[in-house]
Amino acid sequence: MIKKVLLTLITVALLLVACTPKSPADPQAPQEPSVLNVMTHDSFDITAELMTRFETENNVKVNIIKGGDTGSALNRLILTSTTGAQEADVFYGLDNTFLSRALENDIFEPYNAPALSKIDARFKLDPKNGGLPVDYGDVCINYDKAWFADKGLDLPDSLEALIDPAYKGLLAVENPSTSSPGLAFMMATITHFGEEGWLDWWQQLKANEVAITSDWETAYYTNFSGSSGKGPQPMVVSYASSPAAELIYAEVELEESPTASIVADDACWRQIEFAGILKGTKQRAMAEKFIDFLLSKDFQEDVPMQMFVFPVLPEAQLPEGFVKGSQIPEKPASLDPALIAEKRDAWVEQWVELMLDN
């Protein structure tokens, strides 16, 4: 009896291992495809067919490495490059809050992609074109429409309004030291209130019982009342595209999204995502092709539904469902990358000291 069970168990295990796909070599292929390693963040996605097309056209195998969130992926790259154990040829998904760290560490090789000429100058934050803009999105406060309608409470129309006692305990934010939307929102407040005033505002927000979580998942699904988790707070720091996602991934078809964003001036932080060719790559030509692919109309039109971000290429058409739920703030907040580079860590430290130390 025991031998049987053990034997079955071991056989099952071995079979399972043996059955795992091993990417069989295609005998028809003229030559072994080269491999391009692309480091990116965990939220990266793409229509499978689109990637296959790029791979067959260029006789290449694109090997995606998901390195955690943006910051973790970047740190991995910097660390492994110092030991010569470089993991990737291209990095995609670096955002403007971390761009400066990448540039300081000089991880990119410049590439003047032809498509760059079509892209709006306000997206191009690296003058040397080491990091090339690919997509953007806004980090905004989402609110629960039904909650506000129910209570007959007006929406806060500015960041200042959030410290009004009427909104006591109604907002959930993420810790900027562990969450990238949290960091983005903190940057928005620094843009708006200036380096002198921002901590005062946060002090008052703390007095107004803002809820703080470590990560977006907790803020959105356990704190926010507008999500399926139905938490206690009717406002949460999330993305301007989240209402569109609520619409697209609704269970029953909805007329309109149950949530919306507060798009007051400076209340949203514009996150721009960059891609770049990593220094020391042995696949420079293929890496250039991949960057061109990221900036091609096909890929640019793919990003809204796969990653809920906006394309930087003006000619890219947006899908209808995505446009319906999304709002674009007129005046999103932004800061000079050089200033971010100099102050980011100190700001986060100040924030943590003020908001988390009792």
Beta carbon nearer to other proteins, 67 or 133: 67
Stretch touching other proteins by CB under 8 A, among 41-49, 184-192, 193-201, 287-295: 41-49
Residue 192 within binding range of other proteins, rule CB under 8 A? no
**Start-end of H helices in 158-283:** 180-207, 216-218, 242-248
Is residue 170 packed enough to be buried (19+ CB in 10 Å), middle (13-18) or exposed (0-12)?
buried
Cα gap 9→15, rounded to integer Å: 10
Question: Among 211, 275, 291, 303, which residue interacts with other proteins (rule: CB under 8 A)?
Answer: 211
- 90 counts as binding other proteins under rule CB under 8 A: no
- Residue 79 binding other proteins, by CB under 8 A: yes
Burial of 3 (0-12, 13-18, 19+ CB in 10 A): exposed
Is 305 near other proteins (CB under 8 A)?
Answer: yes
Q: Residue 355: name the closest of 179, 238, 209 by CA.
A: 209
Return the DSSP state at 296.
S
The minimum distance between CB 297 and other proteins, in angstroms, equals: 18
Contact between residue 310 and residue 135 where contact means Cβ atoms under 8 Å apart = yes
Residue count of the chain: 358
Residues 323-352 that bind other proteins (CB under 8 A): 345, 348
Instruction: Establish if 204 lies at the interface with other proteins (CB under 8 A).
Output: no
Under rule CB under 8 A, residue 75 binds other proteins:
yes
d(CA 138, CA 157) in angstroms, rounded, equals 17
- Binding residues with other proteins: total (CB under 8 A): 89
One of 7, 29, 146, 207 touching other proteins (CB under 8 A): 146
- CB of 332 closer than 8 Å to CB of 192: no
**Tokens representing 259?**
């949530």
Q: Please give the helix or strand (H or E) that residue 287 lies within, else none.
A: helix 284-294
Q: Work out how close the CB of 357 gets to other proteins at its nearest, in angstroms, rounded to a whole number.
A: 8
Q: Does 58 bind other proteins (CB under 8 A)?
A: no
Which one among 26, 29, 56, 72 touches other proteins, defined by CB under 8 A? 72
Nearer to other proteins, 128 or 230 (CB): 230
Closer residue to other proteins in complex, CB, 55/160:
55
d(CA 148, CA 234): 8
Binding residue for other proteins, selected from 60, 129, 155, 221, defined by CB under 8 A: 221
Residue 16 or 121 having the CB closest to other proteins: 16
Nearer to other proteins, 162 or 210 (CB): 210
Distance CA 142, CA 197 (A): 24
Q: At 198, which amino acid appears?
A: W
By CB under 8 A, the residues from 103 to 132 that bind other proteins are none
Distance CA 158, CA 173 (A): 16
User: Of the two residues 251 and 315, which places its CB atom closer to other proteins in the complex?
Assistant: 251
| Interface region with other proteins, contact rule CB under 8 A, candidates 146-154, 265-273, 275-283, 326-334 | 146-154
